[in-house]
Structure formats: structure tokens, C-alpha cells
Structure 1
Amino acid sequence: MLVNYEYYKIFYYVAKYQNFTRAAVELDNNQPNISRSVKNLENTLGCVLFSRTSRGVKLTPEGETLYSHIVPAILQIEAGEKELLMQKELKSGIVSIGTTETALSEVLLPVLDMFHKKFPDIRIRINNSTTPAAMNALKSGSVDFSVVTSPVEYDDEFEIVNIKDFDDVPVCGKEMAFLKEKIIGLGELKEHPLISLSKGSSAYDFYSKIFAENGLKYAPDTEVATADLILPLVKNNLGIGFLPKNLVKSDLESGEIFKLNLKEKISSRQICIAENKNVSLGVAASELKNMLLDYSHRFGN
């Protein structure tokens, strides 16, 4: 049985207030239209829903039965409409982001700070992992979009936008500080302990390719899950690591670690926004993505 939803909504308000005129005011309608809609609903259902009283109307037994089912439905619909309005006005909602440690520190953190100050009621969920894991999260639909570091392997269903270039530098701790006085090649670098992101990460793939192009095998002595673990290992003299220049700037200036002068040139890498072309972003996620793009235009390269 197909019944116009408006009929049920009008029925709900007439039953709630037990008065056609008050229901009309609540619905910004007029009393004749309200009466006509109730009559149409009664005709469609084949029963009388209201009986008149001296003060208005009251539900018949059939009306009571219908009302018991209509109340939760109307309340759920109105709650949904209110929630959508709040999300549209960015007063409610959740944004889920997949990201890497480098992308988080280089771009995402300052933008999240601005976003949170502007929209304090929006909740943010961050899945911090490697680029492949962040892309898998995007593919599974568990995040709205991902902010990752190159190289990025992706299918046609994804759209990738580069938002910032960054450079890695090889760094070491104090016990290997003697290496900073010379220009060192990858071959000699390989003779010392290397610290790297784990196999399967974009950074591991990137340096495997660089070493291979120079006839060398990339075989780090220590592998870690996220980039933030490399720096403390370098500081504690466990080996040499490649880290984003901006990330280690203060540690280089304080003399806690040292930059090595590499003979071979290491090409820049990129921080990228990745999203699924087949999935529309919500209002809050779209706003955050646009803030990231705007930030990259102003401060990206």
C-alpha cells in the first residue's frame, strides 16, 4: 500500500495535539488542507482514525494502533533531518582520515588545527599507518580520504593530487658524526647500519629503487612501522636513517643528530591527497580536503 508520507506526518501532529488547527499552525499549513489530508488517509486505510470531541479530536482504537507505529518512525525521520542539517552546517559529523607519519607532520597537523578551531563540533578519526595501508583503508571505505607520501600505487578508482614536495636527508647520531665531514656515496653508506620504514611501505620501495639504480641492494638493519620511530633510534646511535628535512630541522640545529653529505642526489617525494572517485565526500570531509588544498597552494612548495 503506497501512502503519501505527508499524510502520516499530518496524522502524527493532529494526534499529538488532538487539534486540527494547532497541527496546521505547527506544519505552517491551513486547517482545510489538514482535514482533507486526514480524510484521504482514512479513505486509503479504510478506517476512521479520529473522533471529534468538544475540544478537538481524539484517536479511535484504529488510530491508536496506527499512532503507536507512526510515532517512532516520525521521530526517527525528524532526528535524521536535524542531524543532516547539523552536518550541512558543520555542527556535527565525523571525518575519518588515513595518513602517514610524514604527511601528518608536514601538512595535516597544521590544517587539522585550523579545522578544529573553525569547526569544534566535528569529530576527527586518524588512521596513522604506511601509504599502502592508508590506501587499503580508503579502498575498504573505512576512511573518507587519505593523505599519503609517494610513491603511491593506485587503481583507476582513485584520484591522487600532489599537494607538497618534501626532501629526505640522511642523518646519524653522535657516534657516527665523523661521517659528516666527508661526501659519502650510497655504497659506503651501506657499510653502516641503516634504519628504515618496514618492507612494503612507500619509503622502503622508494629507497630500494634508488639503491637498485646505483647497483646496490637496499638491506636496512632495522625496520620500523612508522617514521616517528626512526629518529629516536638514530639519536641512540643504532644507525643512519633517511628523514624529512623539516622533521629533523630542530634536532640538526641542536646538534643531537647530524646530516650526511650524500654524493648521489635523492629526488624529492610528494605528499598526496587520495580519494575514491566513486564515493562522494560528506560536507565535513569536503571542507577539510579543501582546507588542505588551500594550505598547499599557500605553503606547499
Structure 2
Amino acid sequence: MMNTEWYRIFLYTAKAGNLTKAAQELHITQPSVSYTLKQLEAGLGVKLFNRLSKGVRLTPEGAALLEYVEQSLSLLDAGERKIQSLKDLASGELRIGASGPVIKHLLLPALDQFHADHPGVRIRLFQGRTSEISSRLREGQIDIGLIHLPLPDPDLEVKPLAAIQDSFVVGRAYRELAAHPISAGELFGPIPLLLPSRGSSTRQFADQWLSAHGLKAEADIELSSLDMLIECARRGYGAAFVTKSFVQQELTNGDLFELQPTEPIPARTVGIAVRRDLSLPIIARRFIELLSSFV
């Protein structure tokens, strides 16, 4: 295998038809050009140039080689330009997965900024549960996953991103219950429960919290959409289990009211998950840096 730079010198010389002109264009000395061409000819075992009084001319073997050298170096140059565009975030893909509420309330602000700064990067966004996101990470379908912790998966490296606090919220129909502390037991009785669908990490957390207080979660309404849970609570259908920061606007506006459990609901953490055994793409690394600055 010959040195790629030898072929580049061969190409410049063939185009210039003169060793001195080739050396000037390459910013090297004429003896260096001459020595390299002799090495290339020796390595290939053929004569590539006829040395003339006013320059050089390709031999038939040299002309045959030139066609392939031009194509090869053109591809290499294109590859280098592609790498540079990826480094400059002028092209490429950002592949990321998260749940719907996390996308809306944690991811989109940073994603908006990233898209505005790097419009040439194609954004591929997958919405799913933590289990689905971790599966896609392992299969290499996405590069970054925003998931609820803990996530005991030896194939994934997970770093905390943001702490979140869950709460039960009600609409105006139950607002009087938000005026004083309420026990977990009182959540079962006059207040219908509105919970996320089974299988979601938020539902699992709610079930664990209720179970820790000797209660079995029996939802009156189960919904996979956070927006629908919020809407049902606002309309007076019961107490919805949601992340407090995701309904802050409704709480501020007086459309929803936060219940005050006597047994505090522990905080949770949203984390950034990536494949442990794979190098993270430049685009993904840069987005994680941006996302961390938004939280």
C-alpha cells in the first residue's frame, strides 16, 4: 500500500506537467517531488512519467493510473469535507428518545435552540416509555435517551439531568381538599384517581408510593397522555398524578390545585442515557452540553 500523499504529488505533477510547478502548488521543494515520484514508480514497478526538457509527460501506465488517482483523492477530499461538516454541526443527525412529557417540558426548549443554531442537522426524535427508549439505545436506533431513574441496565451509562417532583392535582371541583393536608388513605374514597397507563415509569412510581402506604392503586381513569390527565383533572374528574413542574402554569393560573399528602412523595430524577460501549457522535455530545445548560 502506497502513501496517499505520494498519489497526491503524482496527481499535481500530472496536472501541472512540470515538477517545479507541482512543487509550488504543493508548497514543497522540487527535489521532494522528484524523490516521491521515483519512490512511487519503484513501488509500482512501472515508469509513470517521461522526463522531457521542458517538463514531464505521463506514460501510458501513468495515464491509466491517473484516472483512478483522481477518483480516489476526490472521494477522500469529499470524506474530509463531510467530517468537517459534522464537526461544524452543518450536517448529520441528532437521534434522541424521550417520553412525551419530558419532550414537551424538558427537551423542547434546548431542541429549539439547537435547531435554530444548526439547521443543517436532521433531528430524529422518538417518543416512548423508558423501557422502549432503553431498548432503542441498546439496538443503536438512537444515541441519547432521556429516562426516569433508576435504570439498572449494564449496557447503558446514565447520568442525572434534573430532579422532578410528582404531585396529585385537582380541579376547582375538589379545590377545598387542597386547603389542608390529606393522607394517602383519603385519596381512595371521595376522590377518583387519574393515573398514567400501566407500564410507564411514572405509573410504576405512583404504584410503589401507594403500596408503601398499604394501598393498592385502582385508577378510575388511566391515560397515556399527560395532557389528557391534566385536562381530566381540570374538568373535575379526580386527582391526577403528574410531575408538578409540568403543570406549573395551570397551578399558577388557578386551573389546578395541588393536594398536600401527609406522607411526602419522594423526588425523582430524569437522566441522560447513552450506550456504554459506543463512542458518542459529536452532534450528540454537543447537544448534551446544551441540554445540561438549560436545566
Question: TM-score w.r.t. structure 2 length?
Answer: 0.84
Tell me the residue number matched to 1:214: 213
Deviates more, 1:89-98 or 1:117-126: 117-126
Distance 1:208 1:264 in 2: 14
Alpha carbons of structure 1 residues 81 and 254: separation in structure 2 relative to 1, 3 Å: same
Deviation at 1:141, TM superposition (A): 2.0
- Which of 155, 158, 169 is equivalent to 2:156? 158
Distance 1:114 1:239 in 2: 37
Runs of 4+ residues deviating >6 angstroms: none
Tell me the residue number matched to 1:29: 28
Contact 1:100 1:149 in 2 (8 A): no
Deviation at 1:267, TM superposition (A): 0.8
Contact 2:206 2:241 in 1 (8 A): no
Contact 1:101 1:228 in 2 (8 A): no
Tell me the residue number matched to 2:254: 255
Q: Which amino acid aligns with 2:158?
A: I
Distance 2:212 2:110 in 1: 36
Distance 1:8 1:46 in 2: 15
Tell me the residue number matched to 1:185: 183
Q: Which amino acid aligns with 1:158?
A: L
Tell me the residue number matched to 2:83: 84
Q: Which digits, 9 at most, give the CA deviation of each residue in 1:14-57, with x for residues without a partner?
A: 33444433432333222222222222222222222334567644
Contact 1:129 1:225 in 2 (8 A): no
Alpha carbons of structure 1 residues 247 and 34: separation in structure 2 relative to 1, 3 Å: same
Alpha carbons of structure 1 residues 278 and 84: separation in structure 2 relative to 1, 3 Å: same
> Counterparts of 1:1-301 in structure 2 under 5 Å?
2-52=1-51, 56-150=55-149, 152-177=150-175, 179-180=177-178, 183-191=181-189, 192-296=191-295
Deviation at 1:201, TM superposition (A): 1.8
Q: Which amino acid aligns with 1:235?
A: R
What SS does the aligned partner of 1:164 have? Answer: strand
What SS does the aligned partner of 2:199 have? Answer: coil
What SS does the aligned partner of 2:252 have? Answer: helix
Distance 2:178 2:281 in 1: 49
Contact 2:196 2:241 in 1 (8 A): no
Deviation at 1:156, TM superposition (A): 2.8
Deviates more, 1:180-189 or 1:237-246: 180-189
Deviates more, 1:247-256 or 1:224-233: 224-233
Q: Which amino acid aligns with 1:185?
A: S
What SS does the aligned partner of 1:159 have? Answer: strand
Alpha carbons of structure 1 residues 240 and 80: separation in structure 2 relative to 1, 3 Å: same
Contact 1:103 1:149 in 2 (8 A): no
Distance 1:141 1:161 in 2: 19
Q: Which digits, 9 at most, give the CA deviation of each residue in 1:152-206, with x for residues without a partner?
A: 3232332222232121221234455454456443334244443333322211111
Q: Can you give the 5+ residue segments of structure 1 that lack an aligned partner in the other structure?
A: 297-301
Contact 1:130 1:226 in 2 (8 A): no
Alpha carbons of structure 1 residues 190 and 28: separation in structure 2 relative to 1, 3 Å: farther
Deviates more, 1:16-25 or 1:152-161: 16-25
Count of residue pairs the alignment pairs up: 294
Percent identical among aligned pairs is 33
Deviation at 1:266, TM superposition (A): 0.8
Deviation at 1:134, TM superposition (A): 1.9
Distance 2:45 2:51 in 1: 18
Question: TM-score w.r.t. structure 1 length?
Answer: 0.83
Alpha carbons of structure 1 residues 52 and 234: separation in structure 2 relative to 1, 3 Å: farther
What SS does the aligned partner of 1:212 have? Answer: helix
Q: Which amino acid aligns with 2:276?
A: K
Q: Can you give the 5+ residue segments of structure 2 that lack an aligned partner in the other structure?
A: none
Deviates more, 1:50-59 or 1:240-249: 50-59
